[in-house]
Amino acid sequence: MAEQIGKIKLDYSRYPGEDYYCDGVIEQEILEIAKKYSPMEFPGIIEERKSWPVLYHLSELRENIVEWLPIDKSMKVLEVGSGCGAITGALAKKAGEVTCIDLSKQRSLINAHRHSQDDNVTIRVGNFRDIEPDLPCDYDYVCLIGVFEYAISYMGGETPFEDFYKILKKHVKKGGKLVIAIENKFGLKYWAGCREDHLGTFFSSLEDYPQGGGVRTFSRQGLEKIIQACGDQEYSFYYPYPDYKFMTTLYSDDRLPRVGELSDNKRNFDRDRLQLFDEKNVFDALIQEEMFPFYSNSYMVVIGEKPQTIYCRYSNDRAPATAIKTEIVEKKGKKVVRKCALTPYGGEHIRHIHTSYEKLKERYKKSKLKINKCRLFEGELPYVELEYVEGVTLTALLDERLNRGDEEGFWQLFEEYVSRISHNETMSIADYDMIFANIIIRDETWTVIDYEWTREQMVETKEIAFRSLYCYLLENEKRNKLDMSYAFELLNITPREQDEFREKEMEFQRRVLGKRRSMAEIRELIGERIFQPLNMLDSMHNSEGKDKVQIYLDAGTGYSEENSYFVPDPFVGEEELEFTLTVPGNVKNLRIDPAMESCVVKIREFTFNGEAIPYQNKRAVTINGSKAVNTMVFTTQDPNINLHLENFQMKSSNIIFMKLKVKRMETEICEELEKELKRKIRL
């Protein structure tokens, strides 16, 4: 009736004797991982296995959704639906006592093995309805993370959600809190083409689940109706972004997202998805219209006294020594910013922030740039407190000028930025991350609010300014219309220095991440695709006739029709073609089909970011025909020119220009030309 795994206690007194749900052999695989490896090794396992279930159940980012809650060692926590223990570890670190409930013995064993060193956790295996009568009524926190939507399956009856809620509330002590994290049925990702998380079908929640089934998610208003119907009036809504599963940022009604902040939206780890529109642009529009809460992808509701935290951002996809969280908390009516180490290895990094403040304050003490005040607090996990600065980011002011077409005003503001950051340039201290988003402007006061990546060495102003522009452009494709030549001239940056600075930036990112891959890279490893219906429609529309040029993009999953498009109006003469392609920085290979039948192609001009492409270099360019000097002969009905972009100096956005003469010929004639071409090459 009981089992001990390490320090974890498993209680089987209410276990029905078999697991009623299971994800199949993958659960056995995850159990073997939990037995064999420590949680410190899980990130490497996730990258190696390239599996959605392994990522979902073992990623430490799952813990973010509860890590910010003000739980301490004096408290008892009940976790309903603990599964494989994705958040159990975070609760065990914070609380004095944790009770987990899960119907699956297999998943509970995974939970026990991965947290076997925690002596404050008991896992009760069985149906919640059978276990619930035995539970005490003195829990400080009762947590339902991704569970409330299954109330129909838990409870049955005509009002399953209200009934489930009332039973749970019985076990919350006076002054305690009930915490619910759940998908928003009207989350923007579903409108944009993500499948519903539980059913795997398109638009199910938007259509109010016409297929029926044992799961329901809610809008904010729907959740509020349930909460209020159960007699509660004191509750707070939070908005985990991108969603509660792999939350990196937590927003609240006291700190909603700002324009430009919601750019990490390609989160289809589990299934292929459509992309009907650019979610970042739509989020920006919703934020401006004050409609974000309705379309947030997920909700977290804290029923009870409102926590002090109103905002939290996690940077725990970094190397352990630099993993931190940044939160805004309200203390006695005043907001402060805290940066706290997330691992025992991060203390030195936090202390470095405080040291940087002291030295930057000295460098800029007689300048027009203010360094945000910082205080250091030692402890098991040290943290710093900074002033909360009201105002507008430099990013927002630059965007405002750019959006209204005032490029002159944009560069005037940029020049002011360069002037202010250059003060005492020769001192051996520099904030390498003095990007536009880290500067708040109010009236005439410019304040640097974040100096986490300060270096105790002299760094030229032009390098810092170049990096700031580089990051600014990467965040939003709309900004690519900027004429960067003005900045290069202003800062006196040579083409060689541009390449050096980009390489330094890549090295900086590698150092920050350590040996870990970003979530975007993990998504690519898992390999679930994104289909763009508009491109597919364009392909169908342009598929008639043979006078066309087709482009294929490979971002790591190979070429496909879904990731291709036809060049609009490439012909400038009967046989003369001229066109420009814009290629994102994540594309690994690009294929150009100059015609839809056998042909001879003469290269008149072929450039990548303004430099001639070495199309004789087989590592850089391959074709499915024959080539000599600047002429290519294709005997196939599907001629193609392949650019292997790992051999090029890629930017976030790249420009390819082609000027060709394409002579379509019968295959027999092209075969004769190819034979003659090969004979001359041999001679």
Q: CB atoms < 10 A from the CB of 650, how many?
A: 18
Looking at residue 93, what is its pLDDT? 96
User: Which letter does DSSP use for residue 479 in this model?
Assistant: G
Of 29-33, 283-287, 529-533, the least confident: 529-533
Nearest CA among 439, 469, 470, 462 for reference residue 364: 439
**3-state helix/strand/coil string of 345-356:** HHHHHHHHHHHH
CA distance linking residue 613 with residue 101, whole number of Å:
61
State yes or no: pLDDT of 542 exceeds 60: no
Structural domains of the chain, ranges and CATH numbers in brackets: 318-515 (1.10.510), 532-682 (no CATH)
CA distance linking residue 361 with residue 340, whole number of Å:
21
Which SS3 state, helix, strand or coil, does residue 462 take? Answer: helix
Torsion, Cα of 548, 553, 557, 563 (10° steps): -60
User: Which letter does DSSP use for residue 202 in this model?
Assistant: B
Residues 6+ apart with CB under 8 A from 413: 394, 397, 398, 401
Of 161-165, 355-359, 501-505, 659-663, the least confident: 501-505
CA distance linking residue 637 with residue 66, whole number of Å:
58
pTM of the predicted protein model: 0.79
pLDDT, tens digit, 9 for 90 and up, residues 147-186: 999 998 878 788 999 999 999 999 999 999 999 999 999 9
CA distance linking residue 62 with residue 77, whole number of Å:
18
State yes or no: pLDDT of 515 exceeds 80: no
Higher pLDDT, residue 83 or 483: 83
Which helix (H) or strand (E) element contains residue 660?
strand 653-664
Under the banding of pLDDT at 50, 70 and 90, the label for residue 681 is very low
446-458 average pLDDT score: 96
Average pLDDT, the chain: 91
pLDDT, tens digit, 9 for 90 and up, residues 251-292: 999 999 998 899 889 888 989 999 999 999 999 999 999 999
Burial of 387-402, coded b for 16+ CB within 10 Å and e otherwise, reads: bbbebebbbbbbbebb
pLDDT, tens digit, 9 for 90 and up, residues 77-101: 999 999 999 999 999 999 999 999 9
CA distance linking residue 277 with residue 280, whole number of Å:
9
Looking at residue 668, what is its pLDDT? 84
In the block, which residue shows the tokens 């007699």?
A: 231
Looking at residue 618, what is its pLDDT? 77
Looking at residue 166, what is its pLDDT? 96
Which SS3 state, helix, strand or coil, does residue 48 take? Answer: helix
CA distance linking residue 218 with residue 183, whole number of Å:
7
Residues 6+ apart with CB under 8 A from 149: 182, 183, 198, 215, 216, 217
Q: Which amino acid is at 152?
A: I
